[in-house]
A and B are shown apart, each in its own frame.
Chain A
């Protein structure tokens, strides 16, 4: 049991937690009722979310209430308005929204309804990554259940508020988790991110005002409404209040998704929740918030897991998807895998990203497999600097560049050892003649 107060995962694990009955027995739809029947104006809901300090849980950490306030005044702008729910969870290491959708789908629906009321939106689309078939079915069934109970559709709870929620299935492209790529994909096109500005609040889905919110962000909203901004701010840090779902994977004893207040040290999460590094080994390197946030050395495991502390440490909280590498793991091999991913997922619009991600992958691969050169370290830095920041339409190039800079900064020795050793020193330089010779000698 956690010694910290939890709320996001409190229903998860209850029998039939995904059903309307169990949801209602456990505070479900009380926040919606409070908003619709308690005389809250949309503006008051936005103000309450602003006051809570809730920041987006999709990776960028943007203040949620502020984002909602960017939607144009419906009196002056009569266009249709949309909410797009980003359930295209695909940053490597991240699997928290899946837990929420599987275990607590009504929590998402309630969050969506309150968000739509606040922004005076009449239709929401939940863009679920295509592979999450089980999550899709769970949320779709919950929407049907809510619709039959008068919670989705026309005149919700007799309040006169109308809101439709539609499910939408993606088809396996990471770039559709980028908000403008998501909107293009939802319109039935290739997921090519759009240049910004214009921003989604002015020109979103079908050119109409749109807000894109992450699943976990929206699941926080009913609690903020029900328990208030002060309660929310009593958890976490001053600038990053509330709890966050931390996924911890890799070489740990108990990998899993844990609900924790923002601002705990990464060491506490690793030791007390994940049970430490597996097999009695030592920590070598770790990633704080998904593969795009890059490797940090074991010496930095004391850093606090919140937006500002990690920024000061030269990294990012991202999606709080921590990954741990033990002493037998190779950071170069891991970057070969990570750069392969970004090459695969680049949409191809921008040359810096399309070519850059491929070159990064080629260079990491040749380092790992014994064909690297000492100047490759500088070449990787220079390539990454040419790709980001701010040189491309979206941040995918940054997502490949940031971990490249991080490995050069923190694990340069290991990179150079791959050159001098003609291959991976941890795997005996498997492609090198010296390794083969060694095998022959040992035989």
Chain B
């Protein structure tokens, strides 16, 4: 159930917090995100249900991966122990718990894509970006990962670049799409 005590720590009418002091570090979760999460929590009878959507938003807005500080801040916001939030975040493949490159490239290697050349697509994605599968390029531009089925089976092979699907790929397409990315 909603824990109003915890919520008040982050709401607008709380006492002026340390953020006004010039020496204090910026809060891990920007105020706009906290407000967004408070609204999200109203969709459910229990606050915790907003946790996974909130972790998505943290990852999208705050640098592409979930730092321990973000997990702790979410734990506090949702009235959970940090280890519970870590347990959730580490269960789901879409959450990155280590730094990633500026662009995250995922290549589906499941059966429908495998039958239509996924390994060649992956190899080309790695050679264009200078990544090993699962790794980040030395210039921090790219991370390339293997993905399980993305539901693009009738348009195989596919890759996901920063959340956008690219389907019916040839190796030349990979070169063209990734080659021009800063």
Binding site for B on A (CB under 8 A): 80, 89-95, 98, 129-134, 166, 168-174, 185-191, 206, 247-251, 255-257, 287, 291, 321, 323, 325, 329, 333-334, 337-338, 341, 344-345, 347
Contacts and interface: CB of A to CB of B under 8 A. Distances in A.
B148 interface: yes
B153 A189 contact: no
Given A166-B43, A255-B154, A291-B111, A92 B149 contact: yes
B22 interface: no
Contact of B93 (A166, A173, A190): A173
B155 A255 contact: yes
Contact of B111 (A80, A206, A248, A323): A323
Given A190-B88, A249-B112, A337-B114, A169 B52 contact: yes
A80 B1 CA distance: 14
Given A186-B49, A190-B87, A345-B148, A334 B153 contact: no
9 contacts: A89-B151, A130-B56, A166-B43, A171-B93, A189-B88, A248-B154, A291-B111, A337-B110, A337-B111
Interface of B: 43-46, 48-53, 55-56, 78, 87-88, 91-95, 109-112, 114-116, 148-156, 160, 163-165
B163 A188 contact: no
Contacts of A185: 52
Contacts of B148: 90, 92, 174, 341, 344-345
Between A94, A188, A347, the greatest number of chain B beta carbons within 10 A of the residue's beta carbon is seen for A188
Nearest to A89: B151
Given A95-B155, A323-B111, 17 more contacts: A131-B94, A133-B164, A168-B43, A168-B52, A169-B52, A169-B53, A171-B93, A187-B46, A187-B49, A189-B48, A191-B92, A206-B45, A249-B112, A249-B156, A250-B112, A291-B110, A341-B148
A131 B92 contact: no
Nearest to B80: A188
A92 B152 contact: no
Nearest to B41: A188
A325 B112 CA distance: 10
Contacts of A131: 94, 150-151, 160, 163
A357 to B, nearest CB: 13
B87 A92 contact: no
Contacts of B50: 188
A341 B93 contact: no
Contacts of B115: 249-251, 323, 325, 329, 334
Contacts of A80: 45
A341 B93 CA distance: 13
Contacts of A174: 148-149
